[in-house]
Amino acid sequence: MKNLFTNIKGDAFGGITAGIVALPLALAFGVSSGLGPTAGLYGAIFISFFAALFGGTNTQISGPTAPMTAVSMVIIAGIIAANDGDVNKALPTILTVFLLAGLMQIGLGALKLGMYIRYIPYPVVSGFMTAIGVIIILTQILPSLGYYPKEDMEFVNTFKAQAQEVILENILKDEAGEGILVLENFKETINRADEITQDAVLKESQTLAAKEASGALGAIKAIPRALQNINWLELILALGTIIIIYGFKRITKAVPSTLVALIVMSGIAVGFNLGYRPIEEIPSGLPVPNLEIFTEFKLSSVTPYVFTALTLALLGAIDSLLTSVVADNMTKTKHKPNKELVGQGIGNSIAAVFGGIPGAGATIRTVVNITSGGKTKLSGMIAGVLLFIILLGLGPIASKIPAAVLAGILITVGIGVMDYKGLKAIPNLPKDVKIGPVKFSMEVLIMLTVLVLSTFWNLVYAVGIGLVIASLMFMKKIGDITGERSGITSLKEEEAWADEKEFPNNLKEEVFIKHVKGPLFFGSTSDFQQLVAQIPNTAEIVIMRLARMQYMDQSGLYAMEDMLQDLQKNGVEVLFVGLPKQPRYMMERIDIIPDFVPEEHIFNRFEECLNWVKANIKDKY
């Protein structure tokens, strides 16, 4: 904090520039999330200011980002659907989930887990980021065409029967909650059903129609209807926005092309008084905390979303720390990952209380800040203050921005967020897995699995499945490598170690020497269990050289026990040489020592073992 005012001019210019870049994105992400532009603006204000103030990356600019918005959009849609399509009714639960995610981020930082976020496999991140881009593009096609399912009455009317069913189910649930026995008081059910108005049925039908067309898959299903009902003005506004964003970059990058597109296309729409669809009204005045989060808190309503909140927290952590690495590379500094997570968590928590959507460190805005002169935390705080001033003074003006313009901006964001580096590498990655006659790359399989599941099913579960597959494949590879290097999987005659050169030739048929040159853990146990098959039928003694087996887990312990049992049944004795402390401790816990390998069969040096062999084993062949 003592260096906060050492670069006031550079930080002011960097913060103002980053704030200007953030404005159209904040509005667009708010609209995309389903909570409206105000939620996006509130999120940008509070996250930018407080994440900068308490975070661990001096030049980071934070706010709503594409990945965080995509996940938030799914959460918001699900909670609204569970609350009869009423946004106001669902809002306390939505904001509570966001608050919980922020608190979890603080917890991750406090537990010093920030350094471990980097170990998430690249194929999982790549598939997820590409899926985010695809989802954003698909979900913005409908508003770009000027098509809104809730307003297509022909489409809405197809849900009337289902709407009546839903309303009746809600009546029955209410009666069950009130302790009313339906079969004994069926007249009460009929009376309540008679009170259902056509407006209520229409509202529920619109909710179901919007739900049917939500998400990537819903958007794909709705595109044919949208193409039959194109609003050409909205389409022209969206295409004009996209063209300006990409075209203006070729002229200069000194001025953000997104802002230019927003001003130009909005100016045309307003100036020529075109009959366009504006975004929702942005209220003027100071943001007010949503106290319903605390006054109407219900554990039962939030519990189903705990895992979702954790996923949101982890995603924000990954997003932020990746941006921190970019900032480090540009400024030649070193960020503090755990402090950064605490700062992001505080920013997201405060934003949630005021009704803002969650966010993270934003790479583009951070790069703009640094290249514009930002060097300290003050730059991120100034960006938040600038957005706050815009909210107070320009809210009514911003409310006139065409919805199609923001849809065009989001389409370019979706295109930009996809991981083209990972996609381009697909043909060149080694095909290291074979199923039947088909060979393929495991990294590609993981990436495509996460991509498809994230896009068409569930973002949260897709990442979890991707992590599980990646972890299993990593363990298999490590197990294979460990087994190969440790000699566990070797079926050929092993090369004698230096101290084995003088081993008597006449005892080589009676004594089998096995070298274990690595840890014995769950990844190598399946191969270790095949060790008995390597031992010749003539062997009476197996000498296990274990000095390099420094670690043994529970799986390895039981694999060792199974092997020793098999050898004992076959009348083969086992000698241990150089047994390290940790494996010995494990084997003593379940009495492998001394039940299968007595103390007199454990030697510190091979020379001692050799003397025992010479004294106790005779040449029989």
Beta strands 573-577; 541-545: pairing state? parallel
CA distance 60 to 366: 5
Do you find a cis peptide bond into 594, omega within 30 degrees of 0? yes
CA distance 405 to 351: 25
Domain boundaries of the chain, sorted by first residue = 511-616
Tens of pLDDT, residues 567-612: 888 889 999 999 999 999 989 988 899 889 999 999 999 999 999 9
Which range, of 145-154, 335-344, 389-398, averages the lowest pLDDT?
A: 389-398
In this prediction, residue 485 has a pLDDT band, given cuts at 50, 70 and 90, of low
Q: Which residues contact 123 (CB under 8 A, 6 or more apart)?
A: 422, 443, 444, 446, 447, 450, 466, 470
Cβ-based burial of 131 (10 A; exposed 0-12, middle 13-18, buried ≥19): buried
Mean residue pLDDT of the chain comes to: 85
Tens of pLDDT, residues 406-457: 899 889 888 988 888 888 888 877 776 666 677 778 888 888 898 999 888 8
371, two tokens:
């290249």
For 511-616, give the CATH class: alpha beta
Higher pLDDT, 358 or 212: 358
> Residue 360 gets which letter from DSSP?
E
Predicted local distance difference test score (pLDDT) of residue 47: 96
Which range, of 102-106, 227-231, 437-441, 614-618, averages the lowest pLDDT?
A: 437-441
Tens of pLDDT, residues 256-308: 888 889 889 999 999 888 888 888 777 777 888 988 888 766 777 778 888 88
Per-state percent for the chain, helix, strand, coil, to nearest 5: 70, 5, 25
Do you find a cis peptide bond into 402, omega within 30 degrees of 0? no
- Residue 369's Cβ-side half-sphere holds a number of Cα atoms within 13 Å equal to 38
CA distance 318 to 489: 38
Q: Are 450 and 462 in contact (CB under 8 A)?
A: yes
Query: In b/e form, how buried is each residue of 446-484, taking b as 16+ CB within 10 angstroms?
Result: bbbbbbebbbbebbbebbbbbeebbeebeeeeebeebbe
Predicted local distance difference test score (pLDDT) of residue 129: 81
391, two tokens:
């909210």
Higher pLDDT, 84 or 69: 69
